[in-house]
Amino acid sequence: MTRVALIAHDDEKPEMIDLVRAYEDLLAGFDLVGTGTTGQRITDETGLDVERKQSGRLGGDVQIGAEVAADELDAIVFLRDPLTAQPHEPDISALLRICDVHDVPLATTRTSAEYVLDGLARDTE
């Protein structure tokens, strides 16, 4: 089954919820994993089941990176706030590096996330 990680900085969580709602039918057929707060918000606001890792500040992004290294993830959507990210929020550099090493797509904007999800949809047809 296709497995996708969902991560969002605090200011991007509403955008993540909007994206998930727009792709809810597709995502319902995927195995979803997320950092603690993002995963909880997605479950609470959409009803989709999300395997929750630690919050980003506690290492959830590192746990997701480990799944990339173990070839357990097909893609990551990490909606980040490049201008006002807080020190407690997950850093993208380690995830970007591990995704590049393992050729796993990492979307950081709504538009790139839509392209990745549309591509995954084609792969599941």
Q: Catalytic residue positions?
A: 61
Residue 90 DSSP one-character state: P
Does the annotation place 102 within a ligand binding site?
Answer: no
**Closest Cα to residue 57, out of 7, 109, 107?**
7
Residues 41, 70 contacting (CB under 8 angstroms): no
Does the annotation place 109 within a ligand binding site?
Answer: no
Does the annotation place 65 within a ligand binding site?
Answer: no
Assigned token pair, 96: 């970007």
Does the annotation place 36 within a ligand binding site?
Answer: yes
Does the annotation place 9 within a ligand binding site?
Answer: yes
Does the annotation place 53 within a ligand binding site?
Answer: no
Show Cβ contacts of residue 81 under 8 Å, excluding neighbours closer than 6 positions: 9, 10, 11, 12, 89
Extract the annotated binding site.
Answer: 9, 13, 35-38, 55-56, 88
Extract the annotated binding site for substrate.
Answer: 9, 13, 35-38, 55-56, 88
